[in-house]
A and B are shown apart, each in its own frame.
Chain A
Amino acid sequence: MSYTLDFSAVIERLPELLLAALATIGLALAGMSLATVIGVLGVVARRSRFKLLRGLVIGFVEVIRNTPFLVQIFFIFFALPQLGVRLNPTVTAIIALALNGGAYAIEIIRGGVDAIPKGQIEAGLALGLHRGQIFRHVILKPALRTVYPSLTSQFVMLTLTTSVCTSIAAYELTSVAQKIEADTFRSFEVYFSITLLYLVISSLMMGVFALISRISFNYPVK
């Protein structure tokens, strides 16, 4: 028998897919924002005087970076209710994305912070800035700028990771695609089109990140 490609099922339900693509972007943006917050707070905690706090951050980063996202999201969704914590699929997805992205963000930002020359901090101290001011202006801002490319490419990967959230029945592009596939049995056509849509989303994301970089870092480096 021969199999003829037929994309009409995909075209017919394009509005549904585009709406789901927006949900995917929403999940990704929420995850990224929280991941950035976790990243900065994690770096602060990682530099703390308290050994326990430093240990906790290191443990968190290592556990998240060395286990699959799928297992993490299963754990939050299926296992945490056993401890009395019950979150709906969307909230679970955002938290899982934030924790996952956050662990990588801590490592990336820390790399940038470590690269700040000691002399710069000493100069800050000499100028009479207090610890908070030094961290914010002398350490964090230049560090974020250095790590911006790595951080944003990590965030594009996080955007692609949202597809895994279909496993806990979260509303996003992949789960809607699977529903359409189930209704029409046009598996290849559906997944091929969705892949293309993801490529558009990740390209858009990279374009916006590049634009932000051009606008906000548009001052001389040295």
Chain B
Amino acid sequence: MTQTRTTIRRRRAFVALAAATAALGLMPLAAQAGTVAEAKAKGTVVIGIQGDNAPWGFVNSSGVQDGLDADIGKAFADYLGVKAQFVPLAVANRIPALMTGKVDVLFATMGMTAERAKTIQYSKPYAGNVLSVYGPKDKKIGGYDDLKGVAVGVPKSSAMDTAISAGAKSANILRFDDDAANIQALLSGQVEVVGGNQFYGDRLNTAAPDKYEPKFDLTTLYNGAGTRPGEKDWNETINAFLDKIKADGELAKIYDKWMKREVPKFPEQLPDIPFTAQ
């Protein structure tokens, strides 16, 4: 008796789900997205930022958004004459958050890749990030070929994942939720090497002095602000803003504060990644 009842219940579950799918499929789905004018009228710009990727974007111990991206976000809000409202995002959900209109713009350590450029509109680059493979000093890793059968940790949905997945097909790639878990996996010995950004070196050195080193560079990734494709107003406003802070030294100040290095020379263009909305 209970069995039959369960079967019926299950069948109803499918009917319910199927009905939901059909309803969703029929609706022309409109994600809510504000324009620059609307943000100005509201008095706030909603900025997507990474929640735990120091020194790019993170929540400091008083629970406030901090880091390079946060400072640039604040400068952007000042430029618009509005308040900045930060939405902390993880690596895996930042693009969906933009596409579904949860945020107006992403200053979320968004490495500029051609694949992502198919989905979102990048601004001009405003930061640079050297991605490398990090491993213990006593292990010989000179290039992709040495990664054969090696356990490599990468953060989910990261450019390191894309690069290593393409370059070392026979590596045993383990994808972790974020940088924190990825670094932890290397320190715990759960992976032999990791793909990481230019800050992995410092963080690994603090954890285990003189044990790890960068093995080889994957690529230099430039970070740009992300907006929804076709939304010219946001793209043009951000590019104008970036030109301004590059010219008046504000970017250099922010860069020195967080990156402790000079602003890199940015390329005028990147293959397959347009900086301006068409």
Residues of A within 8 A of B (CB): 1-5, 77-79, 81-82, 86, 88-89, 149, 166-169, 175, 178-179, 181-182, 185, 187-188, 192, 195-196, 199, 203, 206-207, 210, 213-214
Contact = CB atoms under 8 A, between A and B. Distances in A.
A51 B140 CA distance: 53
12 contacts: A1-B30, A1-B31, A1-B230, A2-B28, A3-B100, A78-B184, A86-B188, A169-B174, A181-B92, A188-B100, A199-B13, A199-B17
Nearest to B115: A183
A5 B92 contact: no
A2 B96 CA distance: 14
Contacts of A4: 28-29
A1 B2 contact: no
Contact of B30 (A3, A167, A168): A3
Interface of B: 2-3, 6-7, 10, 13-14, 17, 21, 24-25, 28-31, 33, 92-93, 95-96, 99-100, 119, 153, 156-157, 161, 174-177, 181, 184-185, 188-190, 228, 230-231
A81 B190 contact: yes
Given A178-B175, A213-B3, A5 B25 contact: yes
B10 A175 contact: no
A146 B177 CA distance: 41
A139 to B, nearest CB: 25
A82 B207 CA distance: 13
Contacts of A210: 3, 6-7
A210 B177 CA distance: 37
Given A78-B185, A199-B13, A210-B3, A178 B156 contact: yes
Contacts of B161: 182
Which 8 pairs from chain A and chain B are nearest by CB?
A182-B157, A169-B174, A81-B188, A187-B96, A210-B3, A203-B10, A3-B29, A3-B31
Contact of B10 (A2, A77, A179, A206): A206
B228 A169 contact: no
A169 B188 contact: no
A88 B110 CA distance: 31
A207 B2 CA distance: 12
Contacts of A195: 17
Contact of A182 (B7, B10, B92, B231): B92
B161 to A, nearest CB: 7
A149 B2 contact: yes
B135 to A, nearest CB: 17
A10 B218 CA distance: 29
Contacts of A178: 92, 156-157, 175
Contact of B29 (A5, A79, A206): A5
Given A2-B28, A81-B190, A178-B156, A196 B17 contact: yes
Contacts of A182: 92, 156-157, 161
Contact of A185 (B25, B96, B174, B184): B96
B119 A185 contact: yes
A78 B188 contact: yes
Nearest to B13: A199
Contacts of A199: 13-14, 17
B175 A78 contact: no
Nearest to B24: A5
Contact of A2 (B2, B30, B92, B181): B30
A3 B99 contact: yes
A49 B161 CA distance: 55
A1 B231 contact: yes
Given A86-B189, A187-B96, A207-B10, 11 more contacts: A1-B230, A3-B100, A78-B184, A82-B188, A167-B177, A169-B174, A175-B175, A182-B161, A199-B13, A206-B6, A213-B3
A78 B189 CA distance: 9
A77 B188 contact: yes
A207 B28 CA distance: 37
A182 B92 CA distance: 7
A185 B119 CA distance: 8
A169 B175 contact: yes
A203 to B, nearest CB: 5
B96 to A, nearest CB: 4
Nearest to B20: A192
A88 B31 CA distance: 41
Nearest to B191: A169
Contacts of A213: 3
A79 B184 CA distance: 9
Nearest to A204: B10
A179 B91 CA distance: 12
Nearest to B172: A88
